[in-house]
Amino acid sequence: MRKLIAGNWKMHGSLADNEALLSAITAGLPPAPGADVAVCVPAPYLAQVQALLHATPVAWGAQDVSAHERGAYTGEVSAAMLRDFGCRYVIVGHSERRQYHGETDEIVARKAQRALAAGITPIVCVGETEAQREHGDTELVVKRQLAAVIHAVGHCVTEIVVAYEPVWAIGTGRTATPEQAQAVHAVLRAQLRAAAPGERRVRILYGGSMNAANAAALLAQPDIDGGLIGSASLKAGDFLSIIAAAA
């Protein structure tokens, strides 16, 4: 299975910076990259990114989607709107959404449903806080978070991407060791196989401060199928190095 390297720009970017970054990334990629590549960008820039990337090997996506199909939900962006801009992916359940916006497992699951119904692949984020890890609750937490999505989407679980992002390693410069990351990925893999026995492999990405220096060791693990990249995705050289490691 081809690995997937997806950039999460978070709340960064400008028209000029985006063009320079994407030009450098696409110029540095071979015509047929050995890994799938995507960038998930702030919603206001989807039209620009669509125009810049439509003839390249780089896919694009959004960082969030509404749990509602349509209606009086000021400020929300529906899955159908994302589809209009050619989004292939959308991140759901990122820890920053859970922490700062109070998103529950059930809300995340509904967002995944909306994305799938629109033909968009949800990148479903799961992960534990430092306190939860110290209390030995890592497996309990990530399995609970993923179980809500599995219950909501049923057999369509084979169409999602999962991203394990230990909260204590997001934006901190800390990262799980390859062995720590692999252990959690193996738990998630077993959970997915139990939910959809005999189905094709669901990609599970690692997303806790993966960078150019640690990517190769993380991506060498048997159950790590790529990365959801934060700050390193804003530097063309670093992002290209991670893509090369995945290829």
The pLDDT tens digits of the residues spanning 26-70 come to 999 998 999 999 999 999 999 999 999 999 999 999 999 999 999
Between the CA atoms of 19, 24, 28 and 29, what dihedral angle is there, to the nearest 10 degrees?
-20
Q: Which of 191, 128, 185 is nearest to 157 (CA)?
A: 191
Q: What is the pLDDT of residues 82-130, one digit of tens each?
A: 999 999 999 999 999 999 999 999 999 999 999 999 999 999 999 999 9
DSSP string of 58-93, one letter each residue: EEEEES---SSSSSS-TT---HHHHHHTT--EEEES
Q: Is 14 annotated as a binding residue?
A: no
Q: What one-character-per-residue DSSP string does 164-195 give?
A: E--GGGSSSS----HHHHHHHHHHHHHHHHHH
Mean pLDDT of 165-185: 88
Q: Which of 57-71, 99-113, 153-167, 190-204 shows the lowest per-residue confidence on average (mean pLDDT)?
A: 190-204
61 labelled ligand-binding: no
**Using N-to-C axis directions, what is the helix angle for 138-153 and 105-117, rounded to 10°?**
40
- pLDDT attached to residue 79: 98
CATH at 107: 3.20.20.70
182: pLDDT confidence band, cut at 50, 70 and 90?
very high
Write down the pLDDT at residue 142. 98
The answer to whether 230 is annotated as binding is no
Q: Residue 8 annotated as binding?
A: yes
**Confidence class for position 7, pLDDT limits 50, 70, 90:** very high
> Residue 157: pLDDT above 80?
yes
Q: Note the pLDDT tens digit of each residue in 220-243.
A: 999 999 999 999 999 999 999 999
pLDDT at 94: 97
Domain count, the chain: 1
- Answer for the pair 124, 92: CB distance below 8 angstroms, yes or no: yes
- The percent of residues above 90 in pLDDT, for the chain, comes to 91
82 is in which domain, residue-wise?
A: 4-246
What is the pTM assigned to this prediction?
0.96
Active site residues: 94, 165
> Rounded to an integer, what distance in angstroms lies between the CA atom of residue 247 and that of residue 125?
23
